[in-house]
Amino acid sequence: MINIKTQEEIKLMKRAGQIVYKTHQYLKEYLKPGVTTNQLNKLAEEYILSQKAKPSFKGLGGYPKTICTSINEEIVHGVPSDYKLKENDVISIDIGACYQGYHGDSAYTYIIGKGTKEANYLVNHTEKALYEGLKIIREGIRLGDISHQIETYANKYKLSIVRGLVGHGIGKNLHEVPDVPNYGHKGMGPLLKAGMTLAIEPMLTLGSEQINLTSKWVITTQDKSLAAHFEHTVLVTKEGYEILTKG
């Protein structure tokens, strides 16, 4: 059963989403060569706690940190460490915050410095793939319509879709039903209704879609090609959608 959120729940999810958005904005100014991912993690944790929220990821399945920082061939669940960012690194930052029992979840990918032409192409089109998926959302479409939009966009720009990882419903739990794959068929899957909240999150690569689990947490591309990840938590409405993890 896909949860339909009440007005009160939506209010709390909007607040959680705002906190996630503001944490991303806050971290952005620190994204420079020499900064460690542990420093970013500490800043994010302090900010989230200052907003009377809790980091959603910390402790989830034993995850040790507040945010995920996935560098270059790392797709998701990169664990912050003493690694120092360097020129041309591609870093995906995934942040979740829980406010009065409700979660927000959002990811952005950044390039440190100018970046290579290929990296800019990947990051630019992965972000656009997210908005391509979002733009058709409204009550009455099917989940597969979103998946199909993202897949069509990724195919058009010759980027590989990481099929082993998907978006998700979100609310009282960080991960709820349904799964939201970044590939699929139009007209398939559950009907969307106003009040559903979903985390849509394309993960695209410049090379193969095959993935490796390289440590307890970190998922990388098998061929070491660059990966990018963009995610927003959205509310389905009668006329369209609202991005909850946006200013």
**Stretch of 40-48, 94-102, 210-218, 236-244 contacting Mg ion, by CB under 5 A:** 94-102
Show the site string, 140-179: x = touches Mg ion by CB under 5 A, - = not: ----------------------------------------
Q: What are phi and psi of 166, to 5 degrees?
A: -140, 165
Q: Which is nearer to Mg ion, 179 or 242 (CB)?
A: 179
According to CB under 5 A, which one of 199, 235, 243, 244 is a site residue for Mg ion? 199
Which of the ranges 6-14, 37-45, 48-56, 225-233 carries the binding residues for Mg ion, by CB under 5 A?
A: 225-233
Q: Looking at 73, 94, 145, 176, which residue binds Mg ion (CB under 5 A)?
A: 94
Query: Which stretch, 15-23, 90-98, 112-120, 239-247, contacts Mg ion (CB under 5 A)?
Result: 90-98
> According to the binding rule CB under 5 A, does residue 105 interact with Mg ion?
yes
Question: How many other CB atoms sit within 10 Å of the CB of residue 183?
Answer: 18
Q: Which x/- pattern, by CB under 5 A, does the window 6-45 give for Mg ion? A: ----------------------------------------
Q: Give me the least distance between CB of 75 and Mg ion, in Å please.
A: 12
Smallest separation (angstroms) from Mg ion to the CB of 221: 18
Q: In this structure, what token pair is assigned to residue 112? A: 């440190």
Q: Smallest Cα–Cα separation from 66: which of 41, 35, 101? A: 41
Residue 73 engages Mg ion in binding (rule: CB under 5 A): no
192 belongs to the binding site for Mg ion (CB under 5 A): no
**Cβ at position 68, least distance to Mg ion in Å:** 7
Q: Helices 143-156 and 117-134 sit at what angle, rounded to 10 degrees?
A: 160
83, 75, 85: which is closest to 107 by C-alpha? 75
> Looking at beta carbons only, is 67 or 226 nearer to Mg ion?
67
φ, ψ at 131 (rounded to 5°): -70, -30
Amino acid sitting at position 43: L
Backbone dihedral region for residue 189 (phi beyond 0: left; psi -120 to 50: alpha; all else: beta): left
Stretch that binds Mg ion, among 11-19, 48-56, 156-164, 194-202 (CB under 5 A): 194-202
Please tell me the distance from the alpha carbon of residue 229 to that of residue 130, in angstroms, as a whole number.
9
Of 9 and 231, which has the nearer Cβ to Mg ion? Answer: 231
Phi, psi angle pair for 104, to nearest 5°: -125, 150
Report the distance separating Cα 38 and Cα 79, nearest Å: 9
Reference 154, options 178, 135, 134, 130; nearest CA is 130
φ and ψ at 222, to 5 degrees?
A: -65, -35
Rounded to whole angstroms, the Cα distance separating 189 from 133 reads 15
- Rule CB under 5 A: which residues touch Mg ion? 94, 105, 107, 199, 231
